[in-house]
Amino acid sequence: DVKVTQSSRYLVKRTGEKVFLECVQDMDHENMFWYRQDPGLGLRLIYFSYDVKMKEKGDIPEGYSVSREKKERFSLILESASTNQTSMYLCASSLVGRWTEAFFGQGTRLTVV
């Protein structure tokens, strides 16, 4: 069974704080993704990585950065948290390939106050 684990289920942070969200997968997947889920907007891609130290911007990268120093770990960084970054954050991983599903972590509910 693929396991994607996010370090926190719930986080509350203050405006202006630097926030780290961690994600680890145990299936040796090349691809890793960070999405955020907001009501009525579905899942929107923030960043993804297709290899160690490689990253590409998704649809909404502003205010975020990422780090992938090891294949199994993908971190999302909010440089200076703002209230409009209050959301559910979802990490996912997948194999390289055209027709392959992504496996998701349990999500981190981040509240910025």
Q: Using CB under 8 A, which of the segments 12-20, 42-50, 60-68, 72-80 binds other proteins?
A: 42-50
Answer yes or no: are the C-beta atoms of 23 and 6 closer than 8 Å. Answer: yes
CA 94/CA 71 separation, integer angstroms: 12
Tell me: does residue 44 bind other proteins (CB under 8 A): yes
Tell me: does residue 48 bind other proteins (CB under 8 A): yes
Considering all CA atoms of the chain, what is the largest pairwise distance in Å, rounded to the nearest integer? 40
Answer yes or no: are the C-beta atoms of 108 and 10 closer than 8 Å. Answer: yes
CA 113/CA 14 separation, integer angstroms: 5
Tell me: does residue 103 bind other proteins (CB under 8 A): yes
Tell me: does residue 1 bind other proteins (CB under 8 A): no
Pick the binder of other proteins from 65, 80, 82, 100 (CB under 8 A). Answer: 100
- Applying CB under 8 A, the residues found at the interface with other proteins are 4, 9, 31, 33, 35, 40-45, 48, 50, 58, 90, 92, 94, 96-107, 109
